[in-house]
Amino acid sequence: MGSRAVEIAAILVVAAFLVLSLGGEHPEETPVRAYVIEHGLAQTGAANLVTSIYLGYRAFDTLGETIVLLLAVSGVVLLVEHRR
Amino acid sequence: MRKTDILDVVSRKLAPFMFLFGLYLVSHGDLSPGGGFQGGVVIASGVILLAMAKGSAAAAALLPLRRLAVTEAVVFGLILAAGFAGVVTGVGFLADVLYDGSPLPVVRTPFVFILNLLIGLKVGAGASLICLHLFAQE
């Protein structure tokens, strides 16, 4: 019965954390956020601001992510073909 | 393992719509939520659904592993080429080479669309390739 109470308490703590962290607008106004909202469409041409960041301002970062995927595929193919 | 007709019929009817939705996410990534990565993963999940319902051999017959691997590599080369096109034309690595300086917003930006399309192809091929290789191990 004691472990059950610990589990419930842990779930409540996690739930409270999620409600506090995910509930509603992020209150902090950062300069970068205001800049992207104001200039994102005009500078990159993408109406979706997330896209304007990951293909406009940070396209180099996206290139790195595709390299990560390429390495993951290479690793899987190498291991699978090696086992055969 | 014996499979029911329900799984067979539903997966074959559902997979084309998953491909269509993935293409929509990829091609409208600069306008609405979505993009190359998300759309590519949706396309790959259609392939995975077919592979789980019809067997990995049938999925590999539809999309040969060799062709997927070549797609993955060639599209990565194309992304690098799109990046170095900016270096050649003098706007910087991976910068928008098709933007001519006219006042934005235009209707669509071709460069972001092309990058989304390439990334969608690459992620779709890569994720399908990983899963089909692992399924083929069973």
* pLDDT (average), residues A2-8: 91
3-state secondary structure of A35: helix
3-state secondary structure of B33: coil
Among candidates B33, B96, B126 on the partner chain, residue whose Cβ is nearest the Cβ of A70: B126
Domain membership of residue A76 (yes or no) is no
Domain membership of residue A82 (yes or no) is no
Q: What is the sign of the dihedral through the CA atoms of B100, A63, B28 and B24? A: positive
With an 8 Å Cβ cutoff, is A59 touching chain B? yes
With an 8 Å Cβ cutoff, is A66 touching chain B? yes
Query: With contact defined as beta carbons under 8 Å apart, do B41 and B123 qualify?
Result: yes
* Whether ipTM exceeds 0.90: no
Overall number of domains in chain B: 1
Cβ neighbour number for residue A58 with a 10 Å cutoff: 14
Domain membership of residue A15 (yes or no) is yes
Overall number of domains in chain A: 1
Answer whether residue B104 shows pLDDT above 90.
no
3-state secondary structure of A2: helix
Residue A45 and residue B30: Cβ atoms within 8 Å? yes
Residue A60 and residue B69: Cβ atoms within 8 Å? no
pLDDT at A68: 94
| Residue B124 to residue B118: CA distance in whole angstroms | 10
Answer whether residue B106 shows pLDDT above 60.
no
Least Cα separation, residue A5 to chain B (angstroms): 39
Write the pLDDT tens digit of every residue in B24-38: 999 998 888 888 899
Q: In terms of DSSP H, where are the helices of A1-84?
A: 2-22, 31-44, 49-51, 59-83
> Which span out of A23-32, B55-64, B80-89, B117-126 was modeled with the highest average pLDDT?
B117-126
pLDDT at B110: 83
Write the pLDDT tens digit of every residue in A30-72: 888 888 888 888 778 788 888 888 888 888 899 999 999 999 9
Q: How many CB pairs under 8 A join A and B?
A: 97
Domain membership of residue A43 (yes or no) is yes
Q: Which residue has the tokens 């071709």?
A: B110
Q: What predicted TM-score, i.e. pTM, was given to this entire model? A: 0.82
Domain membership of residue A84 (yes or no) is no
Q: Which domain holds residue B124?
A: 5-135
Q: Compare B97 and B71 and report the one with higher pLDDT.
A: B71
Domain membership of residue A25 (yes or no) is yes
